[in-house]
Amino acid sequence: MRAPFRLSPQPSSMIPPQSSLVKYDNPLRINTNAERKLIQESSPCLAEKYKIPAKDNQPTDEILNTILPPREWTECGELWVQKVSSRPSTRLDVTYLQEELDVRLQERLARETGICSIRRELYSQCFDELIRQVTINCAERGLLLLRIRDEVHMTIAAYQMLYESSVAFGMRKALNEEQRKIDRAKEVVVLDQAMCDLQSQINCLKTNCAHIEKSAVEQHQTKQRKHEDEIQFLKKTKRQLKRATLIRKIPRDGKSSSSSSSSSSSSSLLFPGTCRSSPLMVIHFE
């Protein structure tokens, strides 16, 4: 015979799975026989999870379970469930909530400014606790705060997605720039090698030009010396011809024969190929 189910409260020595600013009732241990009944009496989230239709509960408890689903965990093979508290809050509870928020912000070293996941988590828990307190007094006001909370979460999620996409875009850009930098470095190496090759060609061409200019100067000097030698030779020949062919007047006293013979002899000496009987050639240099 099966033992009847029991919903036993959690012992005082047991620590909840996660400390939160939201007030919860004492955890309940679910026996095997009582699991179906507890799920039916719990929130619509758990009923949908286990595919069991929930019974009609009080509107406030149902709204609380919808806004803040019960926590569940397994310990030592047993299932534990903890619902949010439906006890109305007082002014002292709000003051205690504020003090507890400040203490936890200091204990967990949350940042005062900027983006901080710890500060966001604690403020989210504080806002959930305020929604719980307002919902107990006025369900409609609690549902409106729920819409505000969901809108804030959706906005934050959109900003987070935008941030992640921008970070991914920045990483892609950084990788592209790094790859482009590597490609540019390779191009620089190739261009440096090409520049070295062109510089070697320039040096070779300069050396060839220097050799060509040197040979051209030597040829010019050789032709110049040869030309000067020819000019000196021609000048020397001119002086010799000018001495040998001085024009003398034929004397009237009958010495023309001797003069003619001497002229012919001198001309024969200068021009051995000429005949003695040929008339005297007189060259006049201006």
Whether 103 and 152 have beta carbons less than 8 Å apart is answered as no
Is the pLDDT reported for residue 244 higher than 90? no
pLDDT in tens, 2-56: 333 333 344 433 444 567 888 888 888 776 555 545 544 554 444 444 333 344 4
Stretch 127-138: mean pLDDT, rounded? 89
What is the separation of C-alpha 40 from the centre of its chain, rounded to a whole number of angstroms? 59
Q: What is the mean pLDDT of the chain?
A: 75
| Rg value, the chain, Cα | 62
Is the pLDDT reported for residue 181 higher than 80? yes
Q: What pLDDT does residue 35 have?
A: 54
Q: What pLDDT does residue 90 have?
A: 87
Whether 269 and 241 have beta carbons less than 8 Å apart is answered as no
pLDDT in tens, 71-117: 888 877 778 888 888 888 888 988 898 998 899 888 888 888 888 88
Whether 83 and 24 have beta carbons less than 8 Å apart is answered as yes
Bridge pairing between strands 71-75 and 8-9: unpaired
Which of the two residues, 138 and 33, has the higher pLDDT score? 138
Domain boundaries, the chain: 8-137
Please give the Cα distance from 85 to 25 (Å, whole number): 5
Q: What pLDDT does residue 139 have?
A: 86
Q: What pLDDT does residue 172 have?
A: 93
Q: What is the dihedral of CA 62, 66, 68, 69, to 10 degrees?
A: 90
Q: What pLDDT does residue 32 have?
A: 52
Specify which residues 9 forms β-bridges with: 28
